[in-house]
Amino acid sequence: MANLKDIQRQIKSVSNTQKTTRAMKLVSTAKLRRAEELAKRSRLYSDKLNQVIAEIAGRLKCHKVGGIDNRCFSEIKNPKIVDIIFVTADKGLCGGFNIQTIKAVKKLLAEYKDKNVKVRLSGIGKKGVEFFKYNETELFDSVIGLSSKPDKKRSDEFIKTSIEDFKNSKIDAVHIIYNGFKNMMTQELHINKILPVDTDSVNCEIIETKSMLEIEAEDDEKMLDSLVSRYVEYNMYYALIDSVAAEHSARMQAMDTATNNAKDMVKSLNIQFNKARQAAITTELIEIISGVESMK
Amino acid sequence: METFKLEIITPNGDIFNDDVISVTLPGEEGEFGVLAHHSSVSTLLEAGVVDIEKTDKTIESVLINWGVVHVDEEKAVLLVEGAVAIRGESESDIANALQEAKELIKSIEDSGNAIAAVSAKLDSAAQKLI
């Protein structure tokens, strides 16, 4: 049986860890509330923007409005180079949050490799970037410090090259992979094909029944270009906001579990300690009694 | 008077969501008005003032820096990046909103005649309220 002092030391260490994990949980809860509020407010805008884009994409697909043939809306067969952008957290201790995203990225990378498509991988967030660096996967672009503090300007700058390259036919698709916030308990992995705008789900029949859309004829290309840029930029920014909310909820959960585990451990260590104490007392008593007996 | 639904949505949530009689928007090719049953149109908006005629016939002005509008028969959805509504209960509230609006104008990159016009329009809208 372990030494009494050893057990005592262990109990102290575990309860100190418990204090830390509990504090981290509280911090995450507070941060989550703020991040969630921000994500909630932005969701409306993001949803509407996506709706407008989807409608335009649908109409372009079904009607070929005014012969517009914008690259962002047309399906690209046999892509040669694609961009994959992933968002992970800058910090760990949040359960499977980062590894889920990394796994999804690896899966997509493998899929493209099978099809002989070249992939340009860009990453936001220290954890993901470090992972791919360690595995010697080449990163086209990476930024650290943005995923914990989402900033519209920096995110716009980050995604700018991808938008430009797509418009100039240097790349054929842009994917954004991130772990988003679903509710306090669950995170949802998003693998969004952001460019070209996904028109697979468009049902022409539904669109036919609705009224005809009119895009101002003369500068339709300009409008679509500008709209698509904003759409991609905003989706990138939204991915960051959503990811930060999810990160805090994941960390909150992980820390809650850790606190509970520490509690259980302290409990079992306490039992062990009491048993050892009892044993020590019993041994001492036996020693005294046998001593007295021998004196008789 | 027939009305239609107008939604103004910014990245920070919606700032207007109500039935209105008409709305005047700063389109890229000039101002245009939208009434109920307007035909479907999607177009870009530039920095300017959106005038909303509400059901009680009062006019509310909202300054925007960039936007896209999507109009169909039933409703108009305005997606804007930055917007400040010129409204308030008291004079000081309106003055604050005006200050905020002017800061938004400053942040718009391309300066020039258009900005001056927007600024003037903003002042007159605020004057009407006070």
SS3 B42: strand
In which band, very low, low, confident or very high, does the pLDDT at A210 lie, cut at 50, 70 and 90? low
pLDDT at A292 over 70: yes
Give pLDDT, residue B114: 62
Give the one of B11, B41, B42 whose C-beta lies nearest to A42's C-beta: B11
Ramachandran angles phi, psi of A72, nearest 5°: -70, -20
Give contacts of A226 with chain B, Cβ < 8 Å.
44
Give CA–CA dist A282/A288, Å, rounded.
10
Give contacts of B43 with chain A, Cβ < 8 Å.
215-216, 223
**Chain B closest CA to A141's CA: distance in Å?**
26
Say yes or no for a CB contact (<8 Å) between A214 and B14: no
Say yes or no for a CB contact (<8 Å) between A49 and B79: yes
Residue A261 CB burial class (10 angstroms; 0-12, 13-18, ≥19):
middle
Mean pLDDT of A208-219: 54
Considering A248-257, B2-11, B12-21, the range whose residues carry the highest mean pLDDT is A248-257
**Chain B closest CA to A252's CA: distance in Å?**
25
Mean pLDDT of A48-72: 74
Give the one of B11, B66, B73 whose C-beta lies nearest to A45's C-beta: B11
Q: Which residue range is the domain that position B86 belongs to?
A: 1-130
Say yes or no for a CB contact (<8 Å) between B43 and A226: no
Q: What is the mean pLDDT of chain A?
A: 87
Dihedral of CA A215/A216/A218/A223: which sign?
negative
Give contacts of A55 with chain B, Cβ < 8 Å.
42, 70
Which residue(s) pair with A230 in the sheet? none
Considering A194-203, A271-280, B35-44, B104-113, the range whose residues carry the highest mean pLDDT is A271-280
Q: Are A194 and A235 in contact (CB under 8 A)?
A: yes
Q: Are A256 and A28 in contact (CB under 8 A)?
A: no
Mean pLDDT of A265-279: 95
Residue of A nearest to B72 (CA): A211
Q: Which of B45, B104, B111 is nearest to A227 (CA)?
A: B45
Least confident of A64-73, A251-260, A267-276, B51-60: A64-73
* Architecture category of domain A42-253 in CATH: 3-Layer(aba) Sandwich (3.40)
With b for 16 or more beta-carbon neighbours within 10 A and e for fewer, the A36-65 pattern comes to bebbebbebbbebbbebbebbbbbbbbeeb
Considering A211-220, A285-294, B64-73, the range whose residues carry the highest mean pLDDT is A285-294
Give CA–CA dist B54/B67, Å, rounded.
21
Give pLDDT, residue A18: 95
pLDDT at B116 over 80: no
Where residue B22 sits, what CATH number does that domain have?
2.60.15.10
Give contacts of A45 with chain B, Cβ < 8 Å.
9-13, 79
Q: Which of A52, A156, A241 to mutate to test the interface with B (most CBs of B within 10 A)?
A: A52
Give CA–CA dist A242/A80, Å, rounded.
30
Q: By a Cβ cutoff of 8 Å, what residues of chain A touch chain B?
A: 41-42, 44-45, 48-49, 52, 55-56, 210-216, 218-219, 222-223, 226-227, 230, 234, 237
Mean pLDDT of A190-215: 68
Q: For the whole model, what pTM was predicted? A: 0.84
Q: Give tens-digit pLDDT for A134-144.
A: 998 888 989 89
Q: Which of A28, A253, A211, A124 is nearest to B70 (CA)?
A: A211
**Chain B closest CA to A210's CA: distance in Å?**
10
Give pLDDT, residue A278: 94
Q: By a Cβ cutoff of 8 Å, what residues of chain B touch chain A?
A: 7, 9-14, 28-29, 39-44, 66, 68, 70, 72-73, 77, 79, 81
Q: What is the mean pLDDT of chain B?
A: 82
Q: Give tens-digit pLDDT for A87-122.
A: 999 998 998 899 999 999 999 999 999 999 999 999
Q: Estimate the crossing angle of helix A97-114 against helix A126-134, to 10 degrees.
A: 50
In which band, very low, low, confident or very high, does the pLDDT at A189 lie, cut at 50, 70 and 90? very high
Q: Give tens-digit pLDDT for B67-80.
A: 888 888 888 989 88
The domain spans of chain A are 42-253
Give the one of B9, B14, B28 whose C-beta lies nearest to A219's C-beta: B28
Q: Which of B4, B40, B69, B78 to mutate to test the interface with A (most CBs of A within 10 A)?
A: B40
Least confident of A64-78, A173-187, B31-45: A64-78
With b for 16 or more beta-carbon neighbours within 10 A and e for fewer, the A155-190 pattern comes to bbebbebbbebbbeeebbbbbbbbbbbeeeeebeeb
Give pLDDT, residue B121: 75
Q: How many domains does chain B have?
A: 1
Compare A238 and A67 and report the one with higher pLDDT: A238
Least confident of A1-5, A87-91, A151-155, A209-213: A209-213
